[in-house]
Every structure is written in C-alpha cells, then in structure tokens.
C-alpha cells in the first residue's frame, strides 16, 4: 500500500499524476503538486518562496516580506515563522480582514518582493477573506498572492473551484493551497500553481521533498471523490441549502457551512458539546489556544451527508439548551453583522438573507429567535 519513498525518488505514479491534473483543472492553473498533508503544503510553499520569487527580479538574494492575516491557519503561522528564521524574511501580521491596515503595511514596506497569504474561508469563524479587495491591492502593489482553500474547494464556486472562483478572482491568485481531507473526504494536501512555481517548490519545499508520497489507494479515492462531486452537483447545493435552513431557523446569519456558536467560557463550551453528543450531535468545543481566550465556541459544520431533519433536531437541541441554562449562557453572536461589499453583492449572501432580512449598506441587522 505504501509508496515507499518521496515522490522525487519512487513514490510518484500515474495515479498521482492523474489527480494532480484533475486538481489543476479544478483550480484553473497550469500545474498541481500533491503533498502529504495540507499542513505540509503550506510549509513547502512558504519555505520555498522565501528563497526567491522567480521572474520578478534577477537578484536572487533579494529578501522577501510576508504579509499574513492575523487569523490564518496554524500551518501558515508556522510556515511564516520558519521562513523568517531561514531567510531573514520580514513578517507583517495585518489585522483580520482589515484591508486598510494591509494597504498601509504594503505601502510602508521597502522590500521589493512582497507576499500576501490568507485563508480564503477562515476555519474557526466561517467568514471569507475579502477577495475582491485583495485582488485590487495585488494590482496596486504587485505582490505574490497565496490563498489557502482548505475549506473552499468543492464547496464554493460554480464548478467547485473554491472561494477564488466564487468571487471571480482566480486569475489573480498565484498559488492555491488545499487539502484532500475536507470536502474531498480523503487525506493529503496539494499546491496548484503555474508550472514555474511547481518546479520551484519541488526543489525547495523541504516538507514535500523529505516526505513519503501519498499512498496510491488514497490518491485514487481522492480522484474518485472529485469526479463524484463534479457529476453530482446536488451535493454542493444541498450544503448551502442546509446553511440557509440553519440561518433562517436560528435568526442568525451564517455565510458559509462553518457556523460558530460563541460561548466565551471554555467550560461552558465543553459542557454544551457533551450535552449535544448525548443527543447524537458531534459538535466539538473549540478552545484556547486554537482560539483566543474568552472566545471558546462550538463549531458546527454542515455536509451533504446531513439532512433537513438533522438541522431541525440540532436547532431544537440548541433551543432547549438556552432555555435550561437561562440568560447566563451568552453564546449567541451579536445581532449586527458586518460584511465586505463584495460579499453583500454575492449570490451566497442573497441566498442566505431570504425575504425577512434587511441589508443596509454593508450592515445586516436581525433579531435572534433562540
């Protein structure tokens, strides 16, 4: 079953090549590179790109400046730290989805080689990166744009290409990082990019070079899963229908299949998780250090395997919890939500809003029902 060695030695087969080609087509890129995990994919990209940005400058010793969203995944955080140590990269952490802050940091940075990296759909909050605004900043500042599409692939976009496709900015993204363990339901990671970038990461990305290749059965299963998802589009549509149902039933706006229920207190979140498990719902409590102190939560994630009846039962269980615990349990998100202009204009938000909610400018106001 095992491939025996690194893809560069003897672990690369026609099955790996077929999956890479399928993922490259899905992401509308020239090439794709499979990695052992999504974590190792981000590590490989960041350690490789801080060596040199090919095609931008002949001076290969020119240092890089990395700009990373404050709520990026841990794999990005660790990759940035390693890059900083190994190559003297300057690192700037911009406030979450604060495009003005990012613009100021980019403007004040003196280094010519700039890299901006962000999750496209943030795993703990379920909100989207401001893709339209980021693409505009890329045109202005000419940075290398990397996005982590772990939670967007096969979930967002007409063809399942991800958040970049959904917002119409695929052509401006230089490198797409993804995983095979979320919507695809298997194991592994990938990097979709130009042929030049693939070749560079293959020779400089240490977490790729020195790791055993993915087993053939896993690769074959991932390819089959993508084929099913592309053929049976109802799966993607069903996920979004469940998001809308949950949003309408709770009186809250959720803009993605990741629906966080904020408790604040870690013990309260753990107790709620245990109670829900007893009722048949596996909703893990997310606590520090995964999220900041005081923001412990339940993270609900919808899939095509769930039914409308499941959502109804979940809402009932949550409603019962609030009634038995009383007002001391302050887990509902704020009744005022803010979205980027690009999201309030999207089909996704219009689908979620329905007929009984009002959008004014960039603000959505609603009253919780629970």
pLDDT tens for each residue of 118-135: 999 999 999 999 999 999
d(CA 362, CA 364): 7
Q: How many domains does the chain have?
A: 2
Categorize the per-residue pLDDT at 360 as very low, low, confident or very high, splitting at 50, 70 and 90. very low
The tokens 């970038």 sit on which residue? 197
Contact by Cβ (8 Å): 185, 304: no
In this prediction, residue 62 carries a pLDDT of 74
- Same domain for 223 and 239, yes or no, is no
d(CA 91, CA 110): 12
- Same domain for 84 and 182, yes or no, is yes
- Same domain for 18 and 151, yes or no, is yes
* pTM recorded for the entire structure: 0.86
The tokens 């809250």 sit on which residue? 252
CATH no. for residue 324? 3.90.1150.10
d(CA 100, CA 261): 28
Boundary (domain end) residue, out of 179, 213, 231:
231
* Element spanning 237, H or E: helix 234-250
Each residue of 256-265: pLDDT tens digit? 999 999 888 9
Q: Return the structure tokens found at 118.
A: 């962000």
- Is the predicted pLDDT of residue 60 greater than 60, yes or no? no
The tokens 């980019």 sit on which residue? 106
Please state, as a whole number, how many other Cβ atoms lie within 10 Å of the Cβ of residue 227. 11
- Same domain for 318 and 344, yes or no, is yes
- Same domain for 189 and 50, yes or no, is yes
Q: Is residue 18 part of a domain?
A: yes
- Residue partners of 11: CB distance under 8 A and separation at least 6: 3, 4, 5, 212, 213, 214
In this prediction, residue 88 carries a pLDDT of 85
Please state, as a whole number, how many other Cβ atoms lie within 10 Å of the Cβ of residue 367. 8
Of the two residues 161 and 342, the one the predictor is more confident about is 161
Categorize the per-residue pLDDT at 167 as very low, low, confident or very high, splitting at 50, 70 and 90. very high
Average pLDDT, the chain: 86
Domain hosting residue 53, numbered range = 14-231
The H helix count followed by the E strand count for the chain is: 14, 13
């Amino acid at each position: 079953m095992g491939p025996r060695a690194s893809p560069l030695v003897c672990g690369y087969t026609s099955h790996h090549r077929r999956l890479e080609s399928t993922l490259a087509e899905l992401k509308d890129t020239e090439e794709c590179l499979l990695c052992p995990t999504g974590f190792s994919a981000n590590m490989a990209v960041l350690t490789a790109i801080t060596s040199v940005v090919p095609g931008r400058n002949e001076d290969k010793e020119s240092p890089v400046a990395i700009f990373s969203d404050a709520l990026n995944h841990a794999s990005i955080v660790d990759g940035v730290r390693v890059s900083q140590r190994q190559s003297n990269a300057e690192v700037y952490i911009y406030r979450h989805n604060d495009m003005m802050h990012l613009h100021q940091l980019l403007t004040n940075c003196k280094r010519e080689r700039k890299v901006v990296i962000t999750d496209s759909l943030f795993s703990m909050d379920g909100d989207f990166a401001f893709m339209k605004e980021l693409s505009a900043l890329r045109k202005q500042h000419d940075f290398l744009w990397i996005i982590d599409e772990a939670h967007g692939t096969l979930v967002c976009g007409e063809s399942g290409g991800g958040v970049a496709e959904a917002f119409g900015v695929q052509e401006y993204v230089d490198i797409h990082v993804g995983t095979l363990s979320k919507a695809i339901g298997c194991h592994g990671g990938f990097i979709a990019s130009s042929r030049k970038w693939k070749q560079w990461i293959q020779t400089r990305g240490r977490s790729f070079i020195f790791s055993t290749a993915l087993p053939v059965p896993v690769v074959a299963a991932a390819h089959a899963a993508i084929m099913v998802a592309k053929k049976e589009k109802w799966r993607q549509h069903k996920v979004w229908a469940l998001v809308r149902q949950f949003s309408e039933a709770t009186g809250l706006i959720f803009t993605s299949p990741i629906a966080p229920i904020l408790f604040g207190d870690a013990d309260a979140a753990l107790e709620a998780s245990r109670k829900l498990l007893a009722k048949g719902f596996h909703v893990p409590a997310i606590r520090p250090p995964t999220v900041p102190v005081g923001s412990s939560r339940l993270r609900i994630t919808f899939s095509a395997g769930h039914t409308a009846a499941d959502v109804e039962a979940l809402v009932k269980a949550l409603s019962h919890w609030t009634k038995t615990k009383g007002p001391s349990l302050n887990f509902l998100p704020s009744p005022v939500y803010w979205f980027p202009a690009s999201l309030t204009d999207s089909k996704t938000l219009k689908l979620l809003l329905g007929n009984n909610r009002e959008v004014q400018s960039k603000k959505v106001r609603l009253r919780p029902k629970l």
